[in-house]
Structure 1
Amino acid sequence: MEFLPVDQLNVDQRVIEVIKSRGITKLNPVQSEAVKKGLLEGRRLLVTTPTGSGKTLIAELGMISRILDEGGKAVYVTPLRALTSEKFATLKDWERLNLKVGMSSGDYDTDDEWLRDYDIVVTTYEKLDSLWRHRPSWLKEVTYYVLDELHYLNDSERGPVVESVAVRAKKRNLLALSATVSNYKEIASWLNAEPIATNWRPVPLKEGVILEDKKGCTVIFQDNTVLTLRGSDAITSYTLHVVKNGGQVLVFRNSRKTAETTAKKLAVAMEEVDLNDKELLEVSKKFKEVEDGGEGERELLSELALRGVAFHHAGLSKGLRDVIEASFRERKLKVIVATPTLAAGVNLPARAVIVGDIYRFNRRLIGYQEELSVMEYKQMSGRAGRPGFDEYGESLIVVRDRKNVERVMKKYILSDPEPIESKLGNESSFYKFVLGLLASEGTLSEEELMDFVNQTLLDKEIARNYFQSGIEWLNENGFVEGEERLRLTTFGRRVSDLYVNPFTAKVVRDYLSGSEVGCSLAYLHLLAYTPDGPSLGVSKSEEDRLLDEVYCPLFVDEPEDYDEFYNFLSAAKVALIMNDWIDEVDEDVILQRYQIGSGDLRNLVETMDWLSYSGYHIAKVIGREDHYDNLLTLNKRVKDGIKEELIPLVQIPGVGRKRARLLYSNGIKRPEDVIMNVEKVKGLLGQKLGEKVAKEAARIIAGVR
């Protein structure tokens, strides 16, 4: 294994200084191999190595060397916003070289022309895909793409857009990164890239299973070494074993409820561990101070933190997740019990990873359970081992039946992850892909369009079949026009810019075209019922109540098919939640009433904000001004969670739903009223905030904002 001294790199001396400022004097074997294979000369590479092997620095060297040598811009693409923020923070180091680093995610109906002033742009796959559709001038200057977490090609939801981006990015210099690509030679060939594949890790990984029974727990590692622990609960026994020996633990459970229950159980068990009570009291207080979390969540996490434990899942607000992650990185919290989404979302290494379940719930399957993929397990186990703290990491799968030990060991530990395959093989994803190509490339002949399609990972015969049916469907439904050369219609262009699925656009257009105006609840239900709508679980006990509470006529009738009926109910639940939200029902009441988390509510607001925005633009392009007016008002209410009378006030930066209601209840109803009653506003909001709000109101009235 070669460790290349940083001083030997053939790069600008300032680059070496930045790397050394991080305490790095030698490149590790993976990084050294990338340099050897032509990273600094712009060679196209696919690097597939374990988590923690330094792939981000490889990306930095690739981007910076190209920008300094050739000019142009570089784009770093990630699948998740959390990762985008994480990479942006790391890349800010390069501003010491007078390079500007920018970040953009979300807000799909914009070209972000302001990014023309930046040398490095960090973004998500979805945002980059939408930017190509808007064709900002600065994108022509991009000469280098980094495609991070490329294994998301295999993700059923995000895979199609990752593949769409890869098809267009591979026309430029690129660097693709992943921890888990078993068919890396095939993927490298598809990308026209040189593969670098190695199992080298900075911290070696010991994998095994832990078998629980009434007599105790037995750990069986891959190398056949055995460890016996007291206690009949595997997760508790091994967690205590690791923490007592100075380590931290990530426990993965298959549901939010199980994660929370496990965290409570571990907190009780941690009573026998000597912890730093002063540090944990500080963490506990931070949970109580988080503004965007639900009261119940804050109280529970605050209590668990006193014993060094927390739970983590997508239902929590960003503020709560930030406290959990920061406290774990600082080694104050000792244990996090999480759902598998954490494995890919953030960089949180631990001494040990415990995979508590190999099954997860899937209501579409008979029996409602399916096994985790090998790739998902590899993502979780990859978090084991903290560089600089641990000599090795440990990853254990809990097995509750001795007969399954050999099978689990063979499937998850001794096998490679599943090969990456195209996820464009369905009508919804493929038609959106074709629409995006026409938006980004302009007018194309069928042959030119098919050339792009042939660059996907799809089987050529399958691709041809989807192509023919796709062109026919898009034409028949008014998205494209033309015979010899295809182009987007006005409707197709607007739908593409909005970044909604064409099937979503068709549903909204068809219902709005044939219906009179409806109440807010009806619009919310329609938008939630589209393919882009958010999905929520609906329990048996909720079904009748949801139907009873949908008090106004809906655009969509109850379907007879069970799956569609379930989707109908899910959309009804989303609509009722959002209707409470825009009626200014207290957030904690909403969370309790519908048994959702604060993070769920934030995600629903964000998605329904986008869909209501798209809805009123679709209404406008089809000439239904009556629906347009209603949807425009609805969008403004969804964005801030307000009744209609507060819309003028929430235009003022710093004034949200609660402050707007306080001002309105005291006779301050418009920005003009703020200016006329500055002292009253200060008395209501406080001196400092009141002054700021008054200044912002003045700017609005003056037309500055």
Structure 2
Amino acid sequence: MEVAEVLPEFADAFAFEEFNRMQREALPALLEREENVVASAPTASGKTALAELAICKALADGGTALFIAPLRALTNEKEDDWDRFENLDYSVYVVTGERDLNPRRARRADILVMTPEKLDSATRKHDSRRYDFVTDVDVCVIDEVHLLDADRRGSVLEVTISRLRRLCDPRVVALSATMPNVDDVAAWLDAPEETTFEFDEEYRPVDLNAGVKTYTHGENSFADKYRRLYRALDLAEPHLREDGQALVFVASRQDTVRAAEKARDEIAERDVPMGARGDYDFHTESKELENDKLRNSVLDGVAFHHAGLSKNDRDLIEEWFKQGHVELLFSTSTLAWGVNLPARCVVIRDTKLHDPLEGEVDMSPLDVLQMLGRAGRPGYDDVGYGWVVCDTAEADKYRQLLRDGKEIESRLAESLETHLNAEIAMGTITDLDDVMDWLETTFYYVRGQSKPEEYDFPNLRERVRDCLEELVDRGFVETSEDLSIEATSRGVLASKYYLRLETAAKFAELCDRVEEGHDLETGDVLEAVATAGEFESVSARQDERDAIDAVLVGQEYGDLEAGQRKVLAILRSAASGTTPAELASDAWVIRRNATRLVSALGAFLDRFVGPHAANLARRAEARIENGVSADAVGLTAIDGVGPGRASKLAKEGLSTPGDIADAGIDGLIDAGLSEGVAERVYEGAQSLPSIEIDWGDFPETVATGENEVREVTVRNVGEPARAGIRVTVNGREMTSTNTYLRDADTVPVGVFGAETDELEYTVSVAFPEEPLIPIEETRTVRVE
């Protein structure tokens, strides 16, 4: 059955010319019916084409398709793959947290690509102009729906799909690797029997011979890695000697590089005939690689692959592996979920990995099965070989996994309070009956009916009532006399910023302390974030502790745990652009999560304290993001000024946007900028608010016991912005206003002849949404 016969107008959208047996059997359900579809099939059997068929039908009907990719790294890959749709004049738009959203492009897109987390965030804000595009989806394709069973991420996927179905009821096409309880997923998605497919192992293009191999565990984890590596090479060697290829999965990006280096030496010692050092053409091609270590390695037939490599290098390695130039490839798990790169032999060297946020964790069973599914090259091998290398104590666990597969469970119960709060904050749940109606749309409810005792289903209503009471007690939800429920400001902010509830409560407590008179400092912001629940599983390895102590030297943080001290050290060093090398491997992930949390804390401070407190958090966020000093942070508000340029300008004495505006283009050129850059930076500074404070006829003296009210004018001669204007006398706040400052605001200031020699009045203007240092001016009045 040729693609051109079935879908003549979309023939160029597919990477092949003929559908295989599995695709042919699913094709009528996807193209000729309207119902939801669930299909489970072995890895590498061609499931991606089912997604593309569903997308083609939606496009042919004039609709919009949404593709949910399991990992952020794969969203970019789909963007590249689906150039084929772009060539047919259909637009593909990827929405991830890493990119600035262009709502207009998202609205006009024919195919949207998102991760579960980004879709969750977008559907929570579906009634905003920015995210309204998510309610205009006609088909939703869930790639790897067995992610429902993943720690943390599973419940996100589950509630998001349930929410999307309530918002716009798209057709849902769910695809997964082989799973024993595909019928439960079909029941959840209301897919009838006729459009539910369970393609078993006979649909695998190549038979899989999978097993478990143990190694002798030692005291030293570093030495254990090499014991496992030699075990992996023992398993791969026979295939490499027969011109087969081997794919070895390891725990981290660093490990791929180290393992490849060690493997090259070991293979040379074992005299395994591989590599292309005599191939002049390949030798020339290899010079296109940007990574030096990779360039040296590929000529010996050994390479590594991870998401941190440049796109150029990843593409070349993938292509050379397909061509057979690379015979032994070390990779992280990302490759198992993404590119179809099968090998005759697949070895999982590491079943445990270090997660920057979770510490040492077991690789998920889903990842293990996904990786082993890469064994066997269609058209080249009759059988693929897959091995899990693990400690003897864990061998039976993995043998059972390979024998029985993995039933997919719901993880919603583990974070029910958080997801319930989000639904209440959106206004979709207003009483207990609504909660039960919502739960009935979840996979949790379906699995609870299959396994009532394990899911404590007989007590479900009671569990929900306890959950609601907990939300009320903690200030996230309030109930009225008619038993209706609605979110408080705290609950809305927790949902909007995707916070764990204990973190939201901690942020609210800090706001209360500031309201009661605690002087808020940058250290308070950093400590509140470092001790947030999102970082509770971060651990500090022994080799990191000296670096942590050096960063925090002179600071009193005795009551913080080691992991919290590590996060705080990363935030403090990131804020000054000096992260120690020992902390660098985890710093990127921790910083990325921290900036979201600081932004959320800023919103709490804005709502419950005021603009000045929010501005302090905004400046802390900008410093963590850019690594600039406290006096130069305001420069990062200017478009085109990154960390390097901000530091350079600050060294020249230009540390605020006001300094930039005063210096003019010539002054910026004198400070070392090229003319074109100077013009852009100057224009950027002009597009920010700029404050002048006019004290009018403010007195220099006041008689004891006399009271006068004078007016101070705060004028914005730059772009309009939301601002907080605060007046203090001798350090104590007199007035505070929150305003949208377009041109000028007049502030009444009382001058009182108090029992003191001098009164020091300070007018301060802060911008809660910009990292600008507050503008302050002071006047002193003598009391006579």
- Indicate the TM-score class for this superposition, using the shorter chain for normalisation: 0.7 to 0.9
Q: How far apart are 1:497 and its partner, in Å?
A: 1.6
Q: What amino acid is aligned across from residue 379 of structure 1 in structure 2?
A: Q
- Aligned residue runs from structure 1 range 58-73, under 5 A: 58-69=50-61, 71-73=62-64
Q: What amino acid is aligned across from residue 701 of structure 1 in structure 2?
A: Q
Per-residue Cα deviation, 1:294-344 (whole angstroms, up to 9, x for no partner): xxxxx766655564444556xxx7345873464234325443334545533
Q: Is the 8 A contact 1:53 1:200 kept in 2?
A: no
- Residue 497, structure 1, aligned to residue 496, structure 2: yes
Per-residue Cα deviation, 1:460-483 (whole angstroms, up to 9, x for no partner): 445434421221122223322343
What is aligned with 2:416?
430
Q: What amino acid is aligned across from residue 179 of structure 1 in structure 2?
A: A
Normalising by the residue count of structure 2, what TM-score does the alignment of the two structures yield? 0.72
- Aligned residue runs from structure 1 range 142-541, under 5 A: 142-170=137-165, 171-193=169-191, 194-198=195-199, 199-200=201-202, 203-209=205-211, 233-253=230-250, 261-271=258-268, 272=271, 273-277=273-277, 279=282, 286-288=289-291, 304=297, 307-311=300-304, 318-319=308-309, 323-324=313-314, 326-331=316-321, 333-340=326-333, 342-344=335-337, 347-357=340-350, 374-387=365-378, 390=381, 392-398=383-389, 407=396, 410-413=399-402, 415-426=403-414, 429-442=415-428, 444-458=430-444, 459=448, 460-461=457-458, 463-483=460-480, 484-514=483-513, 516-517=518-519, 519-533=521-535, 535-540=537-542
Q: What amino acid is aligned across from residue 474 of structure 1 in structure 2?
A: L
- The structure with the largest strand share of the pair is 2
| Shift in alpha-carbon separation, 1:573–1:425, aligned structure 2, 3 A | same
Q: What amino acid is aligned across from residue 582 of structure 2 in structure 1?
A: R
| Shift in alpha-carbon separation, 1:570–1:371, aligned structure 2, 3 A | closer
| Shift in alpha-carbon separation, 1:674–1:652, aligned structure 2, 3 A | farther
Q: How far apart are 1:44 and its partner, in Å?
A: 0.9
Q: Is the 8 A contact 2:422 2:492 kept in 1?
A: no
Q: Is the 8 A contact 1:108 1:130 kept in 2?
A: no
Distance in 2 of aligned mates of 1:325 and 1:466? 50
What is aligned with 1:106?
97
Distance in 1 of aligned mates of 2:91 and 2:65? 11
Distance in 2 of aligned mates of 1:255 and 1:319? 13
What is aligned with 1:628?
614
Q: What amino acid is aligned across from residue 60 of structure 1 in structure 2?
A: E
Distance in 2 of aligned mates of 1:55 and 1:348? 14
Per-residue Cα deviation, 1:603-658 (whole angstroms, up to 9, x for no partner): 22211111111110111112254532321110111121221233344345554323
Q: What amino acid is aligned across from residue 505 of structure 2 in structure 1?
A: K
Q: What amino acid is aligned across from residue 420 of structure 1 in structure 2?
A: I
| Shift in alpha-carbon separation, 1:211–1:491, aligned structure 2, 3 A | closer
Q: How far apart are 1:353 and its partner, in Å?
A: 0.7
Q: What amino acid is aligned across from residue 21 of structure 2 in structure 1?
A: P
- Residue 44, structure 1, aligned to residue 36, structure 2: yes
| Shift in alpha-carbon separation, 1:206–1:303, aligned structure 2, 3 A | same
Per-residue Cα deviation, 1:145-188 (whole angstroms, up to 9, x for no partner): 11111111111120110111222344431000111422111221
Other structure's SS at 2:85 match: helix
- The structure with the largest helix share of the pair is 1
What is aligned with 1:294?
none
| Shift in alpha-carbon separation, 1:434–1:254, aligned structure 2, 3 A | same
What is aligned with 1:84?
75
Selected match of 1:14 from 6, 9, 14? 9
Q: How far apart are 1:45 and its partner, in Å?
A: 0.8
Per-residue Cα deviation, 1:410-465 (whole angstroms, up to 9, x for no partner): 4243x132211111112xx2112112223445463321232011222333445434
Other structure's SS at 1:644 match: coil
Q: How far apart are 1:582 and its partner, in Å?
A: 1.2
Q: What amino acid is aligned across from residue 48 of structure 1 in structure 2?
A: S
What is aligned with 1:221?
none
Q: Is the 8 A contact 1:110 1:134 kept in 2?
A: no
Distance in 1 of aligned mates of 2:397 and 2:155? 30
In the alignment, structure 1 segments of 5+ residues that lack a partner are 215-230, 289-298, 559-564
Q: What amino acid is aligned across from residue 384 of structure 2 in structure 1?
A: G
**What is the RMSD computed on CA atoms of the aligned residues?**
3.9
| Shift in alpha-carbon separation, 1:674–1:97, aligned structure 2, 3 A | farther
Q: How far apart are 1:573 and its partner, in Å?
A: 0.3
What is aligned with 2:562?
569
Q: What amino acid is aligned across from residue 276 of structure 2 in structure 1?
A: N
Other structure's SS at 2:533 match: coil
Deviates more, 1:352-361 or 1:187-196: 352-361
Q: What amino acid is aligned across from residue 10 of structure 2 in structure 1?
A: V
Selected match of 2:116 from 119, 125, 129? 125
What is aligned with 2:591?
605
Distance in 2 of aligned mates of 1:674 and 1:240? 67
Other structure's SS at 2:404 match: coil
Distance in 1 of aligned mates of 2:109 and 2:425? 24
Q: Is the 8 A contact 2:180 2:407 kept in 1?
A: yes
Q: What amino acid is aligned across from residue 466 of structure 2 in structure 1?
A: S
| Shift in alpha-carbon separation, 1:499–1:209, aligned structure 2, 3 A | closer
Distance in 1 of aligned mates of 2:349 and 2:210? 13
| Shift in alpha-carbon separation, 1:576–1:151, aligned structure 2, 3 A | same
Q: What amino acid is aligned across from residue 413 of structure 2 in structure 1?
A: G
Deviates more, 1:353-362 or 1:614-623: 353-362
Deviates more, 1:333-342 or 1:573-582: 333-342
Q: How far apart are 1:664 and its partner, in Å?
A: 3.3
Q: What amino acid is aligned across from residue 115 of structure 2 in structure 1?
A: T
Q: How far apart are 1:389 and its partner, in Å?
A: 5.7
Distance in 2 of aligned mates of 1:132 and 1:396? 41
Q: Is the 8 A contact 1:252 1:340 kept in 2?
A: yes
Distance in 2 of aligned mates of 1:274 and 1:544? 44
Selected match of 1:34 from 26, 36, 49? 26
| Identity of matched residues, % | 24
Other structure's SS at 1:99 match: coil
Distance in 2 of aligned mates of 1:213 and 1:110? 48
Q: How far apart are 1:506 and its partner, in Å?
A: 1.0
Q: Is the 8 A contact 2:94 2:112 kept in 1?
A: yes
Deviates more, 1:463-472 or 1:692-701: 692-701
Which structure is larger by alpha-carbon Rg, 1 or 2? Answer: 2
| Shift in alpha-carbon separation, 1:385–1:656, aligned structure 2, 3 A | farther
Distance in 2 of aligned mates of 1:369 and 1:650? 36
Selected match of 1:675 from 640, 657, 665? 665
- Residue 584, structure 1, aligned to residue 571, structure 2: no
What is aligned with 2:770?
none
Q: How far apart are 1:511 and its partner, in Å?
A: 3.0
Distance in 1 of aligned mates of 2:511 and 2:364? 41
Per-residue Cα deviation, 1:342-381 (whole angstroms, up to 9, x for no partner): 533654433321122556789999xx99876653321110
Q: How far apart are 1:266 and its partner, in Å?
A: 0.3
What is aligned with 1:141?
136
Q: What amino acid is aligned across from residue 569 of structure 1 in structure 2?
A: A
Q: How far apart are 1:123 and its partner, in Å?
A: 0.6
| Shift in alpha-carbon separation, 1:603–1:309, aligned structure 2, 3 A | farther
